[in-house]
Amino acid sequence: MAETKEREEEIEEQEKIEKYRKAGQIAARIRKELNKLVKVGTPVIEICNRVENLIKELGGNPAFPCNVSINNIAAHYTSPPNDKTVLEDNSIVKVDFGVHIDGFIADTAITFDLNSGFEKLKEAAEEALRVAIENIKAGVKTNEIGKLIHEKIREHGYKPIRDLSGHLLDEYSLHGAKIIPNIALPHGETIEVGEVYAVETFASTGSGTVHEKPYAYIYRVLPVRIPVRLLSSRKLLKIASERFKGLPFAERWLVKEIPAIKLAIRELTNKGILYEYHVLADERESMVAQAEHTIIVTEDGCEVITSTKGEEP
């Protein structure tokens, strides 16, 4: 009986890893397509829609709304309905997206320099990611990786963003109990075999600290039970709970199904049922670059699942 149970657990674990890998393969294919999409003059909403549609066409589901963060914006910008924002010359653009297969997530991001003059900022984030990945293995502490990221970004003359970090991934969970910081910290958690992390690095010309903007276009249903008044709120709650299962979603995903979505969002956020992902930015006039891959931890290293052969991790 014990041997049978152990065998069943091994099979279950292998199936889970294969789902992570499939999600990673889809993400890797889309990363290669981004060069065709991220151009001066492209509407941001076109990039968001294209990435999310490609994920579905390739057999996955978006793990969260595609983020397209420009210049000093570091995270959480996705197009609202009817977004008129376009990519401008002399900008630095981060595209961050996630794929899930039955809740098992691959998360990745890439920075594009649109003649901004900050190519070396992009390189700083990418080299910090490479150093982090090269040093991740079972038994290493998360703060040791954070120290390496910190040192590499400072070596290039920029600041790591202290408020943002890499994170443990789990089934239908984007942010697990462990983080991989962008800065040196006195303490950390032990990285273990089989764990899956989104390793992400942020380099900034600014303060290295982000603040919340007063607007949000991404939401997540929280596990609370509170009565709601509006029919549109009940409909949004039902759709989001059943369809996204605790993963983040965009306002524009549901606007056709729920015409009064803004009223629903207001009621649900006021009652603490919806979590708002406010857009995060460093100080005005600064520039932020991001690099991210998802990895599976092994005894003597890690497997990068969001890169294709020949691509530098």
Q: Which residues are catalytic?
A: 96, 107, 167, 175, 200, 292
The phi, psi pair for 244, rounded to 5°, reads -105, -15
Residue with tokens 């657990």: 9
Question: ∠ at Cα 30 (152, 289), nearest 5°?
Answer: 25
Residue with tokens 């462990």: 178
- CA pair distance 298, 288, nearest whole angstrom: 31
Nearest to 161 by CA among 109, 200, 208: 208
- CA pair distance 243, 257, nearest whole angstrom: 13
* 274 close to 201: Cβ distance less than 8 angstroms: no
- CA pair distance 69, 277, nearest whole angstrom: 13
